[in-house]
Amino acid sequence: MRKYTSMAIGFAVALFAGAPLGNTSAGESSTRVIQLRDRWNAAELGVLASLRLSELPPTPKDPSNAVEASPAAIELGRRLFNDARFSRNGAVSCATCHDPKKQFQDGLPVGRGVGTGSRRAMPIVEAGHSPWLFWDGRKDSLWSQALGPLEDSVEHGGNRTRYAQLMGEVYRSEYDAVFETMPNLGDLPNDAAPNGTEAERAAWQAMDERTRKNISRVFANMGKAIAAYEKSLHHEASRLDRYVDGVVTGDPAGVEMLDPNEVKGLRLFIGKAQCVSCHNGPLLTDQHFHNTGVPPRDVAQPDRGRAAATAKVAKDEFNCLGPFSDANPQQCQELRFMVSDDPALEGAFKTPSLRDVVLRPPYMHAGQFTTLEEVVRHYVKAPHSAVGHSELTHIHPGSSKAGHAERAPIELSEGEIKDLVSFLGTLSGPSTGAPRKP
Amino acid sequence: MFRSIVSTLSLLALMGAAGCATPPGNLDLSLTHPSVDKKFVVALQPPATPPAINQIHSWQIKVSSPTGAPVTDARIAVDGGMPQHGHGLPTRPQVTQELADGTYLLEGMKFSMTGWWEIKLAIQSAEGSDKVTFNTVVTTPVAVR
């Protein structure tokens, strides 16, 4: 595949340069000069080619989840994902905020489970490529991430003791087929958890260590099944992918996939609008954390983002190094080499994938912007951050001198803003999230 | 033939990547440097296969005295980042062991994007303390073979 890509680009470059390829090792001797509608130089072609979904490597294996490739685990996870019994009011499932019919999100500024959350539900397709989960990366695996909302008081609002009993009642045979035989949990209180209400914490403390560990293991295994299901969800090719294929193979029909305004937007995206400096690669994200000065939803309590999350993930009992992980400590590299003391983490949030972005307003980590145009205008305006420091270069009125010497400000005309927004509409696939055979 | 096209392309591609950040043309990419105050000669060895973007990987560091003797039992602190983007390394790499006399294992390296990265080492040993900075240019993954 890699070889094919390189050859295709080499061919395209020769086409654009008008140079004959001559006799090559692959036997491509003909010199077809096709005049494509859009011209890209070699540097731009390299960047474009790197954005294609076909360049996405297989999802990295998660050594902390031994069952993630098991079809039985995927099926169990799919059922758990959609089962609203795993909530305090019996009405909230993972699919409530991650609706499969809406690219696995809910279209709301902040999540709404049994209560109201403080951040936007994230898309989950291809989330297995991300070493850190949630906007602040407070979880280090998909399975550990899935456990967070289940016990969050405003999301599912339940607790692991209730869930473990429900697993025993409803999914025992499916559980036993994927994991070790479910332990006999004995006579348990309905509600008990180490992080719940005062009554739940007291009930948790009253149980013996062995019972607590058995309950937590069943709970952790629920997360592993849900993660297996989530990892089976993949994107389909977008118009951008077909356009770039057209450009690198010299296929005029492929080039027609984008209209001229969208192509102008693409030039800005990889050029002076600097979007690609964080939204890079086939998923259009660097999977890293950045402070771009997005205004907080609650000005009185600005969200510290990544800076407040590193301590949480480091001491999380469900992390890669914890007792419920299937990894050996050597394999937990992201956690072992995590950055936790960089001032740049203050007010920083994870770069989201832009695949399907036009289909899922509102935008940013707390749905602060209703439209993509507002998002683009934010990057042009580049306001100072309410917490920490924005990476963007802000130009003060009356001064042409940029505050941040290393990075050029993002300056776009009204027409360019429009073109960039129109380009962002080309990143959607036809059937997002459809399970695909590996 | 293709290899040369691809390597030229990768160089052009990294210059075009990010739209704004062409590495300086005179960047010293050599992997063996004297330290700032010439107390050590430091050689960096990247992994044999270029790592993918966002893939955690290891390097080796060889520390010698100016006369070529291995410098053992050194403590090496690692820092770095992208000077043109104003951000540091996405991970906190650490020297985790001395593999042989004067040869150290640097674990936890990761590059989150193409372009110019600095790797800065602060070395402390019985021979003294000194610093050294290396440049590396990460190319677009499409062209990495």
Confidence of residue A59 (pLDDT cuts 50, 70, 90): very high
Predicted pLDDT at B6: 39
Q: Taking the complete model, does pTM exceed 0.90, yes or no?
A: no
* Chain A nearest CA to B27, separation (Å): 16
**A65 is a domain residue:** no
Q: Does A46 touch chain B (CB under 8 A)?
A: yes
Confidence of residue A36 (pLDDT cuts 50, 70, 90): confident
Chain A residues closer than 8 Å to B93 by CB: 337
Q: Does A58 touch chain B (CB under 8 A)?
A: no
Predicted pLDDT at A97: 97
Confidence of residue B9 (pLDDT cuts 50, 70, 90): very low
- From the CB of residue B72, how many other CB atoms can be counted at a distance below 10 Å? 15
Which residues neighbour B143 within 8 Å (Cβ) at sequence distance 6 or greater?
A6, A9, A46, B6, B7, B9, B10, B13
Chain A residues closer than 8 Å to B142 by CB: 2, 5-6, 9, 46, 49-50, 55
Chain B contacts in chain A segment 8-27 (CB below 8 A): 9-10, 13-14, 22, 24-26
Q: Does A402 touch chain B (CB under 8 A)?
A: no
Predicted pLDDT at A27: 41
Rounded Cα–Cα distance for residues A107 and A103 (Å): 10
Q: Report percent pLDDT > 70 for chain B.
A: 81
**A222 is a domain residue:** yes
Q: Does A59 touch chain B (CB under 8 A)?
A: no
- Helical spans, DSSP H, in A20-158: 42-50, 71-81, 94-97, 142-151
Domain with residue A200: its CATH number is 1.10.760.10
Tell me the mean pLDDT in the region A165-190.
95
* Chain B nearest CA to A155, separation (Å): 30
Which residues neighbour A71 within 8 Å (Cβ) at sequence distance 6 or greater?
none
- Taking each helix axis from N to C terminus, what angle separates A42-50 and A239-249, rounded to the nearest 10 degrees? 140
Chain B residues closer than 8 Å to A271 by CB: 19
pLDDT tens profile B22-71:
778 889 999 999 999 999 999 999 999 888 889 999 999 999 999 999 99
**A281 is a domain residue:** no
For residue B124, give the H/E element and its range.
strand B115-125
Q: Which of A267, A280, A292, A345 to mutate to test the interface with B (most CBs of B within 10 A)?
A: A280
pLDDT of A17 > 80? The answer is no
Superfamily of domain B24-139: Macroglobulin (MG2) domain (2.60.40.1930)
Q: Report percent pLDDT > 70 for chain A.
A: 88
A118: containing domain: 71-231
* Chain A nearest CA to B64, separation (Å): 26
CA distances from B82 to A79, A278, B100, B120, B134 (A): 44, 13, 31, 11, 12
- For chain A, give the mean pLDDT: 89
Question: Quick one: which of B87, B91, B82, B86 has its CA closest to B116?
Answer: B82
Question: Quick one: which of A77, A212, A84 has its CA closest to A156?
Answer: A84
Say how many domains are in chain A: 1
Question: Quick one: which of B99, B18, B101, B90 has its CA closest to B57?
Answer: B90
Q: Which of A21, A25, A47, A62 to mutate to test the interface with B (most CBs of B within 10 A)?
A: A47
Predicted ipTM of the assembly:
0.83
CB contact under 8 A, A43 and B90: no
Q: Where are the domains of chain B?
A: 24-139
Please name the residue that has the structure tokens 């209703």: A370
Rounded Cα–Cα distance for residues A137 and A140 (Å): 7
Q: Does A270 touch chain B (CB under 8 A)?
A: yes
